[in-house]
Structure 1
Amino acid sequence: MTYLLPILVLIIVLFLLSRKRKKSQVKPFPKHWHELLLKNVQFYKKRTEEEQLVFQKRMMLFLSEISIEAVQFELKELDTVLVAASAVIPVFGFKEWHYNNLSTVLIYPDYFDENLSFDADVKGRKIAGLVGTGRFKNQMILSRKALHHGFTNATDKGNTAIHEFVHLLDNTDGATDGIPERLLEHQYIAPWLALMHKEMEAINNDTSDIRSYGGTSQTEFFAVASEYFFERPDIFKRKHPELYKMLSTCFYTQK
């Protein structure tokens, strides 16, 4: 029964959201969020003032289209800011983007297991985030702890929320397979595959600084490498120049 409760809660929340969900009017950017972003989001802090204004508008557009809900805790402003920032970062280089394959982001208070349980007594609570399938299609589930950790740890190369939003970008061609065909022109696909498998081999031989999860599949490699690309771009460019160039093409040359 313990395992069923989180799923039942999730189904009820999604049912209620599906009944009330409509595209809202884009609200003005709360001025005090600027300080929250400067304090917590390095990607935003490094942008010019003009780019920061664009970033703010993109955040508010995202929040007008996607519902963010907390499960068994009270949603705080910073939670909302970090989710919206995570959504904007991977698509900031695009002229326009709408997450048409997402309707709701559900935030759990802690890491969870395959049964979506985050009870402290349950073993195997290792999942930090996922993009739903089946009955949970178009839903994203994030651990609040992982969400905040992705922005408070300035020395690692990971960010769970960015990772999950990259999975959504990967999925826009109809398959979450690590080959972003909607983001790369055809002539880049073969070089991308070659680079990806070369680096996955290095990961699995323990000769790469890209975290080991990236070596488990093409899908996870694309998301893990993208986390590194956005979180520590200078180091990534120095250590992985070919991958950096390819991901720059992917994320910053969209019309």
Structure 2
Amino acid sequence: MFNYFRRKRRDRWLAQHPIADELWLPVTTMPVLKNLSASELARLRELAAWFLHTKAISPKGELVFSDPMRVVLAAQAVLPILNLGFEAYDDWQEIIIYPSQFLAPTRHVDHIGVVHEGEYALAGQARGDGPVLFSWHDVMEGPWLDGWNVVIHELAHKLDMCNGGHANGYPMLNAGMDHDDWKSAFSDAFAHLQTIAHSNDHSPIDLYAATNPAECFAVLSEVFFERPLVLQESYPAVYEQLMQFYKQNPVERLHPQRYRQVQTHYDYLQ
């Protein structure tokens, strides 16, 4: 009953506070969104509006964070939960935005088992204690179908953290998904990526995915949305698992012009 009234209040708020056309329509030309259907874009628009309503966005330094910038961020942020629903991001509340890459303490184990600790310049960071941090410069570099999208990457970490509070490459799976299939698909892909990283061979996928299972899930989520054919051809079992997890099939959205150079300007966002 509580959830019913919560949904009713949310639907009433959304009906009264849509994202204005002048803010939304330019965003729909971003390559990462270009092949969504009209119904998918309408659903994305509602998700983005609710995202902006429920998440505190805190700009840092000299950054003045305008409404068009907020909508560009939100549209990318809610693409992974397009068919998962509003509640998928309920367990965190704040986004911190820096003008460019920022220094933050980090710790990770690389593909040969060496632990790296220190303060590094980052494009994004999903913290287990709540907030997500982004470099605005890198957010604007994200939606160009090159397989690199810091917003999708960090929010994949947040989805991963829903299953136990830390990112480990094993998010809470949807009903009907097979845990053994997930483990097999990602273990095989991770092992293969580590082999490539060890041998310094070329990979169409960013070898940061070979760092650890959490980064493997986040990087392959980026590729799933931005270069789905590459993922489907390289690791078909992973593509199948992510299709079930995100409840989306980006390959079905593709058109021949998908990988043409897109000349779209966002000067008003700079």
TM superposition score normalised by structure 1: 0.77
Matched residue SS, 1:114: strand
> Counterpart of 1:105 in 2: which secondary structure?
strand
Structure 2 distance, partners of 1:125, 1:217, is 18
Letter in 1 for 2:34: K
**1:190 maps to which residue?**
183
Whether the aligned pair in 1 keeps the contact of 2:185 and 2:237 (CA below 8 Å) is no
In the TM superposition, residue 211 of structure 1 has moved relative to its aligned partner by: 0.6
Which of these residues, 21, 44, 49, is aligned with residue 38 of structure 2? 49
Alignment check: 8 A CA contact 2:44 2:78 kept? yes
Letter in 2 for 1:110: S
Show the 5 A alignment for 1:215-254: 215-252=210-247
Which of 62, 78, 81 lines up with 2:71 in the alignment?
Answer: 81
SS at match of 1:46: coil
Q: Distance in 1 between matches of 2:193 and 2:230?
A: 18
- SS of the counterpart of 1:141? strand
For residues 165-213 of structure 1, the C-alpha deviation after alignment (integer angstroms, 9 at most, x for no partner) is 0000001111310112334443433323433333333442335321121
Contact kept in structure 2, 1:199 and 1:208, CA below 8 Å: no
Quick one: which amino acid aligns to residue 55 of structure 2?
I
Please tell me the residue identity of whatever aligns with 1:168.
K
CA distance in 1, matches of 2:120, 2:172: 33
State whether structure 2 residue 108 is matched by structure 1 residue 105. Answer: no
Higher strand share: 2
C-alpha deviations, 1:72-125, integer Å up to 9, x for none? 221022321122112211111224434122111010011012269xxxxxxx76
The alignment-based identity, stated in percent, is 24
1:180 matched to 2:175? The reply is: no
Partner SS state of residue 20, structure 2: coil
| Gap runs ≥5 in structure 1 | 1-22, 117-123
- SS of alignment partner, residue 97 of structure 1: helix
Q: 1:217 and 1:115, CA in 2 relative to 1: closer, same or farther beyond 3 A?
A: closer
Please show how residues 59-78 of structure 1 align to structure 2 within 5 Å.
59-72=48-61, 73-78=63-68
Deviations 1:122-155 (A, max 9, x none): xx7630000124xxx211110011111112xx35
Distance in 2 of aligned mates of 1:85 and 1:48: 15
Which residue of structure 1 aligns with residue 209 of structure 2?
A: 214
**How many pairs were matched up?**
218
The answer for the alignment partner of 2:157 in structure 1 is 167
SS in structure 2 of the partner of residue 32 of structure 1 = helix
Letter in 2 for 1:61: W
TM-score, reference length from structure 2: 0.73
C-alpha distance 38-190 of structure 1, shift in aligned 2 (>3 A)? closer
Q: Using a 3 Å threshold, how does the CA distance of structure 1 residues 115 and 190 change in structure 2: closer, same or farther?
A: closer
Task: Give the equivalent residue in structure 2 for 1:5.
Answer: none
Equivalent residue for 1:16? Answer: none
**Is 1:149 aligned to residue 154 of structure 2?**
no
- What secondary structure does 2:187 align onto? helix
1:130–1:140 CA contact under 8 A, matched in 2: yes
Inter-CA distance 29–141: structure 2 relative to 1 (3 Å threshold): same
Which runs of 5 or more residues in structure 2 are unaligned? 1-9, 107-118, 249-270
User: Counterparts of 1:110 and 1:194 in 2: how far apart (Å)?
Assistant: 34
Shift of 1:38: 2.2
Q: Alpha carbon RMSD of aligned pairs, Å?
A: 2.4
CA distance in 2, matches of 1:112, 1:245: 35
Partner of 1:166: helix, strand, or coil?
helix
Name the aligned partner's letter for residue 173 of structure 1.
N
